[in-house]
Each structure stands twice: as structure tokens, then as C-alpha cells.
Amino acid sequence: MNNIDKNSFLDAKNALLLVRQLSRIDRERESNQWLDALLADEERANGYSSKVPLLNQASFLAMADATIVWLRESYFKDECAKRKLAKRTQSIFDDQTLTIEIGPKAKGIDKENSDELVRRVRNSLGHAKVEIKEHTFLFTDINPRDKDDWAKIEMSWAAVGKLCESVIWAGNDLLYPATSGA
């Protein structure tokens, strides 16, 4: 792990922090006239005529790209690292807003091989195959060499956030094994 750029890990953690801060600022806006006026001024300066939720599809996609694409490519290449990733991401399957469809030749995606979920979501993000719905994201990954090897994964915003957090914790496990939480 010594040859891995620790800045990518910090950038992913910062992306998650930013989404959490945006959520908090959005909630605080309702009861803080000064904050609401400040944000409204910036929205008008950027061509908006009404309130824009700070926690939105774009902020979530940026966080997902920084964590799921960047960290997976940087950290989770060998089998030991993939096992740590799978262990950390298993809890995603407890989410009721996760639906998975796979093609006849696709590797199964479940708790036992949850790193496959991360791989498929990573591919979808990396190839811009994400459909943004009102409350969910639909990630589609199709193997260009075999059209029967595909996966469609629909996740709520909260599930995407949980997946990103799990990937960050798995990266923490690799970089700082003595300090990682369970």
C-alpha cells in the first residue's frame, strides 16, 4: 500500500464530507434567514429563479465518482484488497431500495461477492451509463464483448451514499489497518 496515492483517499473522504455539509446547510437554510438570503443571491447570480437543493443528483454523482471510480481503481486491485472491499460493502444488500437485474452470463451480485456490485457501479459511472431518476439512480453495465453479460442496479440516493462510505472505510482499512473501525 505504500505506492498508492493517499491524496485520492483524502479527496474521496472530502467528497463525502462535502455531501454531508451540503445536506446540513440545506436543512439549516429553512430556519436561517441570513443563510437563505446568501444562497438565494448565489442562485440568482447563476441564473436560477427558485431554490436549488444543495444535495442533488450532481453532488451525489461527483461523490460517487470520487469514491467508487477513483478509489476502486487506486486501491482495490489485489485479492486481499477486494476481500476488504467486499466485507465493507455487504451491508448495502440490507437496503430495501436496492434492486439488481443481471444478464444470463453475468456474475451474481449478492452479499457474498459484494465487490461485484462495486465493480458494476464503477463501470456504469466510468462509462456514463447512469440514469438519474427522482429518488434513485439506475446504473447499467454491459460487457461490450458479450451482450449477455450485463447488470442493472437501481439504488436510492441513501444507498449510493452508504456504498460510497463503505468504499471509503475499505480504503481506510487498507491504508490504516490499526485505526480502522469495525
CA dihedral 115→77→160→11, nearest 10 degrees, is 160
pLDDT per residue, tens digit, the chain (182 aa), is 455 678 888 888 999 999 999 999 999 999 999 999 999 999 999 999 999 998 888 888 899 998 999 888 888 888 888 888 889 998 888 877 899 999 999 999 988 888 899 999 999 999 999 999 988 999 999 999 999 999 999 999 889 999 999 999 988 888 887 665 55
Is there a contact between 137 and 155 (Cβ–Cβ < 8 Å)? yes
Is there a contact between 117 and 95 (Cβ–Cβ < 8 Å)? no
At 102, which helix (H) or strand (E)? strand 98-102
Q: How many CA atoms lie within 13 A of 28 on its CB side?
A: 11
Measured CA to CA in angstroms, residue 144 lies from 93, 148, 149, 154, 172 at distances of: 27, 10, 9, 21, 33
Tell me which residue has cell 452508504: 162
Q: Tally the residues of the chain.
A: 182
Gap between the Cα atoms of 122 and 154, Å rounded: 13
Rg of the chain taking only CA atoms, in angstroms: 18
User: What pTM was estimated for this model as a whole?
Assistant: 0.84
